[in-house]
Structure 1
Amino acid sequence: MPQFEITHESPSFWRVAFDNPPVNVFGGAAIIELRALLDAAENDPELTVIVFESANPDYFIAHWDLTDDLARLADEPPPVTGQQPFVDMLIRLSKLSVLTISKLRGRARGAGSEFLLATDIRFASRERTLIGQFEMGAGSVPPGGGAPARLPRLVGRGRALEILVGAQDFDGDLAERYGYVNRAVPDADLDAFVTAFATRVSAFDRSSVAELKSWVDAITLPDNGEFPQQAAAFAAHLGGPRYQSWAAHAFEAGLQQPGDLEERLGARSVEF
């Protein structure tokens, strides 16, 4: 089943909803679909803005699918940037010529947080957001999808280290205060707020939006050379005994299933 549903609000405004029950983990199938979406977006002369959201109000993207070995990508074309497939997709997303907006409602940890960081603008539900990089709590695994490169540029060095090393969840208010998200909006107002903002942007000239983004990108986005070492370190730690022990206990306790562990993963990841 497709994991992304695309709604064309207008020729210049797409809405993309992620839906991978039960908790919206992200893996190889999602990468394949997003590659196709990025190809279409890059070649659409009218498209100006994309809003990414979730069909599950409790989980935007829970985290990487820790059971996925990416074998399904073996028959796919090689990554455009030459990077690891997930990192490749995030680089392409961050450099897309159209404006990308994440509408965050629910949980976004690990790869979910890194997806958000690769989009241009993040608007979050004040009451229903939990966002973080829990990897260090999962057997002292450093994040490998670009967070160590993107977060310091967004929130500053000290706060980036707090987020990455502390491995705790941030609610909507604190995420806004730190600059992790652009703005936290009351949940009842979030849908209308994001739609109004995206609709406004969609009326602007596409080429002007692309030109403006290119100027900002040139001084704010990490160089592609920053990512390979991070991805390699992440993969190496996943093969280590500390993470393997953590994963075995976490799956026994309900990892990647609805329930208290996924709901409070930022707090509970250090238990195993």
Structure 2
Amino acid sequence: MQNQISITRPQAGYWRATFSNPPINLIDPDTIAELSDLVAELERDPDVKVIVFQSSDPDFFLAHYDVLADKARTAAMAPGPTGMHPWLDVLSRLSRAPVVSIAAIRGRARGAGSEFALACDIRFASEKAVLGQFEVGVGAVPGANPMARLGGLVGRGRAIEIVLGADDFSGALAERYGYVNRTLPDGDLDVFVDGFARRVAGFEKEALAEAKRFLDQVSLPDDALFPAALETFFRSVARPATRARMAALLEAGLQTRSAVELELGRHVVLTRT
């Protein structure tokens, strides 16, 4: 298995994780396994204080889940330490890990890519970022329950707009809604994120971890909300109408470096069965 995530350590207490899974940084079972191993390191390393997640591809942070991945393999993956499916497990443990996790979003983060970004503590975006939960547009229910996270971040009405509208959100609009913390000019993103991470890495680990723990208590959804959403996702993607809409998108160029992937919010509306 080729590694999809490379780790560098620019400074004591500061890690950078870079995604690279050509052609468009799809998430698949191997991505989940690597993330699980990485989160375990974050949980047990006494020195790491902050981790930045970024992409080697300027057009795709994490595109979405690989719809051609073996669904039986995905569904049958062994539960993680929380007892949940490993995708839910990774997201929950990352949110609660005693480190500050930052998604530096340049390019597209949709579907499971958006779910991953939402599980990070902080989201900083480039003006070229595009975020969205497109699943309802193809007849599916988002599997990791981003509804629970978005409701707390952006409010009920805007969460409904994001999830049920299934459209793309630019970096600027995502910032306005609270989907991301802030959006910066593309040329400024890396410098800003690096500066913030270095600042946090200079503080004491115990204070960071304990302050985050208290914030978690009042801001994170209960883990019990997540498994039912994933079960509903698996049922929804098995429906004939959903399979037909997905097949039409694949025929049009989904999962390739195509106009469909670049403007997926528009193409889920154009897809007809």
TM score, norm. by length of structure 2: 0.96
Give the conservation status (yes or no) of the 8 Å contact 2:133–2:167.
yes
Residue in 1 that maps onto 2:43: 42
Deviations 1:122-173 (A, max 9, x none): 00002x11100001111x2121112011100000000000000000001011
Structure 1 residues 163 and 239: CA distance shift in structure 2, 3 A: same
1:219-258 paired onto structure 2 within 5 Å: 219-258=218-257
What code does the residue aligned with 2:214 have? Answer: W
For 1:246, the aligned partner's letter is: R
Query: Which AA in structure 1 matches 2:225?
Result: E
* Residue 129 of structure 1: aligned partner: 129
Q: Deviation string for 1:51-75 (max 9, x for gaps)? A: 0000100000010111112666799
Amino acid of the residue matched to residue 87 of structure 2?
A: F
What's the CA shift for 1:271? Answer: 2.1
Q: Quick one: structure 1 residues 75 and 114, their matched pair in 2 at CA, closer, same or farther if it must change by over 3 Å?
A: closer
| CA distance 1:187–1:208, change in 2 (3 Å) | same
Q: Any conservation in 1 of the 2:78–2:86 contact (CA below 8 Å)?
A: no
Match of 2:14 in 1: 13
Q: Residues 1-272 of structure 1: matches in 2 within 5 Å?
A: 1-69=2-70, 78-126=79-127, 128-138=128-138, 140-272=139-271
Partners of 2:13 and 2:48 within 8 A in 1: yes
Cα deviation, residue 84, structure 1: 1.9
Asked whether the equivalents of residues 94 and 119 of structure 2 are also in contact (C-alpha less than 8 Å), the reply is yes
**Contact preservation (8 Å) 2:78, 2:85:** no
For 1:240 and 1:186, locate their aligned partners in 2 and report how far apart those are by CA, in whole Å.
Answer: 42
Q: Give the CA deviation at 1:27.
A: 1.1
Q: In the TM superposition, what whole-angstrom CA distance separates every residue of 1:221-267 from its partner, at most 9, and x where no partner exists?
A: 00011111111111100111111101111111111000100000011
Q: CA RMSD in A?
A: 1.4
Percent of aligned positions with the same letter in both sequences?
48
CA 1:77–1:8 in structure 2 vs 1: closer, same or farther (change >3 Å)? farther
SS in 1 for 2:6: strand
> For the Cα contact (< 8 Å) 1:7–1:14, is it kept in 2?
yes
SS in 2 for 1:64: coil
User: Mind listing any 5+ residue stretches in structure 1 that lack a counterpart?
Assistant: none
Separation in 1, partners of 2:203, 2:86: 32
Check the 8 A contact 1:18/1:24 in 2, yes or no. yes
For 1:203 and 1:71, the matched residues in 2 are separated by: 45
Q: What SS does the aligned partner of 1:115 have?
A: helix
